[in-house]
Amino acid sequence: MDRHAPLKVVVLGGGTAGWMTAASLAKLLPDRASVDLIESEDIGIIGVGEATLPHIRGFVERLGIREAEFMKATHATYKLGIDFRDFGRIGESYIHPFGSFGEELAGVGFHHYWLELQRRGEAAPLGEYSMCVAAALANRFQPPSQDLSLSSTYGYAYQFDATLFGPFMRQFGQSVGVTRHEGLVTNVERDGDTGNVTALLLNDGRRIEGDLFVDCSGFRSLLLGQELDEEWEDWSHWLPCDRAAAMPCTHATEDIRPYTTATAMPAGWRWQIPLQHRMGNGYVFSSAFTDEDAACEAIRSAAEGEPLADPRVLRFRPGRRRRSWSHNVVGVGLASGFLEPLESTSIYLAQMAITYLIELFPEPGGIEPADRDAFNQLVDMEYDRVRDFLILHYHATTRDDSEFWNHVRTMTVPDSLGDKLELWRKTGRIEKYSDGLFFDASWIAVYVGQGLLPQRHDSRTGMVDPERLKAAAERLRREIASEVSRMPGHREYLERETSRL
Ligand code: FAD
């Protein structure tokens, strides 16, 4: 590598992961990276992946993209959380919100006070103490304002059309200096001594050289998986879903929900993701418990609007490459691993890999093995956190109405999740960490939402006068309801924002 020239980065793949990576490197490291991207229209992109997490807002903002412009281009809607139906028990539902339930008081988490009120038979449903849940259920939306005085934090994400997000990022990426090559990579050149990749060869004879290669080739994992043979860690014994039947529909109602819906099904679950112009639908299922024809039929009968296409079956394997960065190849997106979309985490995982890559980006002169190791540890941590949280949704159930639910209810879970469950059951506490995904409110939403209450909670809640506690909780609930009643409807807010452009 030349010690003065920018590092020559070649991104293989022009899906969501590829264009997010290329655009970020070109925009945020303009002096340190020159970026080429290769994509093949013959192969195309996966074309699903529509629900996101609040972190995506930071991504859009950091690149200097205007939210309204991005939302208009991708037909996006706002998302306040996920409505889980029939997971703990058929007929029950709860929202996992992008915000807190109440607020910590005197060092004790709000949920402990809620558990105390619950013990006394004086608690309203937990969701009524969350601004996000209340707004979602009322189909209302407005961004969190600075002067919001309530003791319940509030965040949001987007739901966008995956087939429009890629082209939007492509246009942006090219505007900040990414060089795009259309073509099919058929061969990979490697250095005989180091094993590093030196160039990618296209079917028409072109040769694209690079110092660092980012594999965003999707499930093919052309560089990390096929060329470097990086070991695959399979998690299907914990996450048995390995297929999805996706089918877009028209909206069935005038309202557009500001949240994603996940409804448990006999062999998995189905999503509903509202976009401006249509509703994304899909049944994520386990082929060990149902077949593709039955799954397609199930999504046809469950979908509420008019179908806009026939169901399309996608196949996947849950798990990840043991190392996401090997030699001079970094895997981002599906090329590095996949966890089913129950909590809309894939794009987040790609975003985090990009963030870590930027932080640990090689200096001129070569890749520092310590940086590569640090990257791999961070990516592992992110995947492990998501994995445990996903498994919880299946395992914490009382459902015994199908073989699938009997299997996930009784299966052995990873030790890391077993420890978290034990801590919650015995003490009502959530394991503390400051990095990665899913903090207290997320775990509490699922535990309580799926009927898993702890044996005890923080005894300091007993030090608060019971009448004052009851009055304070009631005040919070009323304030939230009143604040939400002043918000515009989700559709109204969307139309107002996007028509301003
Ligand atoms: P792809 O979109 O597959 O892109 C691969 C790229 O590599 C393409 O441009 C292709 O042309 C190129 N390529 C491959 N081989 C070659 C070659 N030989 N030569 C040249 N180019 C090549 N994520 C979420 O965050 N939220 C969700 O709600 C969500 N839902 C999902 C539902 C399902 C059923 C599935 C399967 C995934 C879902 N995901 C979701 C994941 C999400 O779709 C992906 O993380 C995201 O689209 C990134 O995909 P990608 O860019 O890695 O791969």
Over residues 421-469, the pLDDT tens digits come to: 999 999 999 998 888 899 999 999 999 999 999 999 999 999 999 999 9
Query: What is the rounded distance in angstroms from the CA atom of residue 35 to the CA atom of residue 180?
Result: 9
* Torsions phi, psi for 376 (to 5 deg): -65, -35
**E strand intervals along 169-236:** 179-182, 185-190, 197-202, 207-209, 212-215, 232-234
Atom 9 (ligand 1) nearest CA:
14
Query: What is the rounded distance in angstroms from the CA atom of residue 33 to the CA atom of residue 10?
Result: 10
Place of tokens 């073509």: 183
- Ligand 1 atom having least distance to the Cα of 41: 11
Please give the pLDDT value at position 253: 85
Pocket-forming residues, ligand 1, beta carbon under 6 Å: 13-18, 38-40, 43-46, 48-52, 162, 184-185, 216-218, 220, 222, 244, 246, 282, 314, 316, 333-335, 341, 344, 346-347, 350
Please give the pLDDT value at position 3: 60
Strand partners, 33: 7
Please give the pLDDT value at position 364: 82
Ligand 1 geometric centre to CA of 44 (Å)? 9
Compute and round to an integer the Cα radius of gyration of the chain.
Answer: 23
Please give the pLDDT value at position 499: 83
Ligand 1 geometric centre to CA of 442 (Å)? 26
Ligand 1 geometric centre to CA of 409 (Å)? 30
Query: What is the rounded distance in angstroms from the CA atom of residue 455 to the CA atom of residue 383?
Result: 30
- In the predicted model, residues of the chain with pLDDT beneath 70 are 1-4, 146-152
Contact by Cβ (8 Å): 486, 479: no
Query: What is the rounded distance in angstroms from the CA atom of residue 11 to the CA atom of residue 8?
Result: 10
Please give the pLDDT value at position 500: 75
Please give the pLDDT value at position 2: 57
Mutate to test the pocket of ligand 1, among 168, 242, 346, 437 (most ligand atoms within 8 A of CB): 346
Ligand 1 geometric centre to CA of 295 (Å)? 22
Strand partners, 489: 140
Over residues 383-419, the pLDDT tens digits come to: 999 999 999 999 999 999 999 999 999 999 999 999 9
* Assigned token pair, 278: 């249509």
- Work out the burial of residue 13: count CB atoms within 10 Å of its CB; fewer than 13 is exposed, 13-18 middle, 19 or more buried: buried
The reply to whether 79 belongs to the active site is yes
- Ligand 1 atom having least distance to the Cα of 42: 11
Contact by Cβ (8 Å): 338, 319: yes
- Ligand 1 atom having least distance to the Cα of 185: 19
In three-state secondary structure terms, 104 is coil
In three-state secondary structure terms, 85 is strand
Please give the pLDDT value at position 373: 98
Query: What is the rounded distance in angstroms from the CA atom of residue 270 to the CA atom of residue 300?
Result: 11
In three-state secondary structure terms, 112 is helix
Ligand 1 geometric centre to CA of 338 (Å)? 10
CA distances from 168 to 72, 137, 273, 355, 501 (A): 10, 31, 20, 20, 16
Query: What is the rounded distance in angstroms from the CA atom of residue 343 to the CA atom of residue 79?
Result: 12
Query: What is the rounded distance in angstroms from the CA atom of residue 172 to the CA atom of residue 21?
Result: 12
Catalytic residue among 27, 72, 79, 420: 79
Please give the pLDDT value at position 145: 72
Please give the pLDDT value at position 329: 98
Residue-wise over 146-172: b if at least 16 C-beta within 10 A, else e?
eeeebbbbbbbbbbbbbbebbebbbeb
Contact by Cβ (8 Å): 399, 409: yes
- Ligand 1 atom having least distance to the Cα of 13: 7
Please give the pLDDT value at position 369: 96
Please give the pLDDT value at position 334: 98
pTM over 0.90: yes
CA distances from 167 to 173, 247, 373 (A): 10, 21, 33
Mutate to test the pocket of ligand 1, among 10, 16, 206, 265 (most ligand atoms within 8 A of CB): 16
Strand partners, 273: 280
- Report the side by side order of strands in the sheet with 329-331: 179-182, 33-39, 7-12, 212-215, 329-331, 325-326
Ligand 1 geometric centre to CA of 231 (Å)? 20
Atom 15 (ligand 1) nearest CA:
217
- Ligand 1 atom having least distance to the Cα of 216: 52
Ligand 1 geometric centre to CA of 380 (Å)? 20
- Kindly indicate whether the domain formed by 7-50+161-233+322-384 is annotated with CATH number 3.10.20.30: no
- Report the side by side order of strands in the sheet with 319-321: 232-234, 319-321, 337-338
Residue 174 has, within 13 A of its CA and on its CB side, a CA count of 9
Query: Which of 294, 300, 268, 264 lies closest to 281, judged by CA?
Result: 300
- Structural domain boundaries in the chain: 7-50+161-233+322-384, 243-315
Query: What is the rounded distance in angstroms from the CA atom of residue 93 to the CA atom of residue 85?
Result: 4
